[in-house]
Chain A
Amino acid sequence: MSATLPNRVEEAPGFVARDRAQHPAAFTPGYKSTFLRAPKQALLSFDATLSERTGPAFGHNMLGELDNDLIVNYAKPGEQALGPRIVVHGHIIDENARPVPNVLVEFWQANASGRYRHKKEGYQAPLDPNFGGFGRTITDENGYYWFRTIQPGPYPWPNGVNDWRPAHIHFSIFGTGFAQRLISQMYFEGDPMVQICPIVNTISDPDAIDRLVARLDMNNTIPMDLRAYRFDMVLRGRRSTFFENKKEGN
């Protein structure tokens, strides 16, 4: 019935332009690894095409039962990882405040002593035999995610003579389009190491840094068990499509 046809073919809308002032520059001298790895030419800017408006989707069936429980997902049967027990939870929404459901969220971190389970790690703090240090989940229909872990420790790293990373958890997030792909790090409220970290300080806007700091959430803390930290993330928003680049209706 032609009367019910929409005015135009449905298309995945483009994205709000990325505000690069909210992100670190490519070259940030305080973080020495950027010296040889930062591109120096201008980025090629253009409105996202289908190649970036589309992106992969992941099904809940890829998840194992313990994927979002770092306290036990690597532990021997009946044992648990050592350290302050926490749950990290929050909403993933876009810049239009719309929830982002059914997207893959991955996380990795050091153990309670600040040690990573990695062959190139040189810190003398011990490994925890019951802690692997990574997990994943998929946001629910409201864009909500959560996982259980231990609070990681700070650790020294080779940059300046005496640089230490604040306690942090790495996040990798997919949106619905490849242009939304994002990797970041979550810090903890009240940690004095945050403000002196050369990697944190690759971001010049203090408000932007503050949005990487998870808040202690006593309301969701479970008595005699674990504390909660709230960490919401925002992905790029899609534009409204109105009359986008069309001289006339379809």
Chain B
Amino acid sequence: MAMLPSYLAELKETPSQTAGPYVHIGMTPNWSGITGVYPEDPGLEVIKDGVKGERITVNVRVIDGGNNPVADCVVEIWQADANGIYNSPAEHRGKADPNFIGWGRFPADEDGRLSFETIKPGAVPGPKGAMMAPHISMWIVARGINVGLLTRMYFSDEADANAKDGVLAKARMSGRDKTMIGKREGDTVTFDIYLQGENETAFLDV
């Protein structure tokens, strides 16, 4: 493919294909038992020692339309630091906490569960400067998922901010805002992702 001048370009995004049942070989090889190639799997840690913010544990479960655990999925997460700054070259508002990574990758276990330690993200500005409620983006890939599924986990202890959040407002129009809210109890947040069925999680097209 030649490097066309941009005024001539009408390129189409490469089509997605399922990550398949053996996604762990490529994305979390050590976890899948193939050791000695990478020193460690990427994305194991979202935060480092000394990170600023409120420490939380997030427990996620992924469930299919037959109420079975999605035991072979991988979930990637992406979030802002405690001040609402992303650790990204595309972040132009400031530098994120040096002890904050913000991205993680977690394979589900046989019960479709995964868990990670992080800090509660700060609020991030949305359209026209209105603040979005604190949230963690989650992207789910697996056998049987043709295009990776993106959603957000918001926090049950942020009722006021959630009530003003534009994305939750959009989900509320179809009665699905509750599917995007993780339940906070102490330092733990519990979030169930339903791929299908009456509790189907709201997935995003951004």
A residues bordering B, Cβ < 8 Å? 9-12, 15, 18-20, 22-26, 28, 31, 33-58, 62, 64, 66-67, 73-74, 90-91, 93-99, 104, 106-108, 116-121, 132-136, 170, 172, 176-179, 181-185, 199-200, 202-203, 205, 208-209, 211-212, 232-237, 245
Q: What is the CB-to-nearest-CB distance from B146 to chain A, in angstroms, rounded to a whole number? A: 4
- Type the 1/0 row for B95-132, where 1 means its CB is closer than 8 Å to any CB of A: 00000011100000000000000000000111110001
In the bound assembly, the distance between CA atoms of A107 and B90 in angstroms comes to 25
Complex alpha-carbon distance, A91 and B11, angstroms: 13
> CA of A187 to CA of B82 in the docked complex: distance in angstroms?
43
- Cβ contact of A48, chosen from B21, B66, B80, B206, cutoff 8 A: B206
Q: Could you tell me which B residues sit within 8 Å of A by CB distance?
A: 1, 3-6, 8-9, 11-27, 29, 32-34, 36-39, 42, 64-66, 68, 70, 72, 76, 78, 80, 86-92, 101-103, 124-128, 132, 135, 137, 139, 141-150, 152, 166-167, 170-171, 174, 176, 195-196, 200-206
Q: Is the CB of B16 within 8 A of A23?
A: yes
Pick the contact of B102: A56, A96, A205, A235 (CB < 8 A): A56
Known: A34-B144, A41-B202, A91-B1. A182 touches B195 (CB 8 A): no
CA distance A71 to B26 in the complex (A): 15
- Report how far A126 CA is from B29 CA in the complex, Å: 19
Chain B nearest CB, measured from A140 CB (Å): 14
Chain B neighbourhood of A52, CB < 8 A:
137, 150, 206
Docked-complex contact B25 and A51, CB < 8 angstroms: no
Q: Which residues of B contact A11 (CB under 8 A)?
A: 92
Partner of A172, one of B15, B26, B33, B166: B26
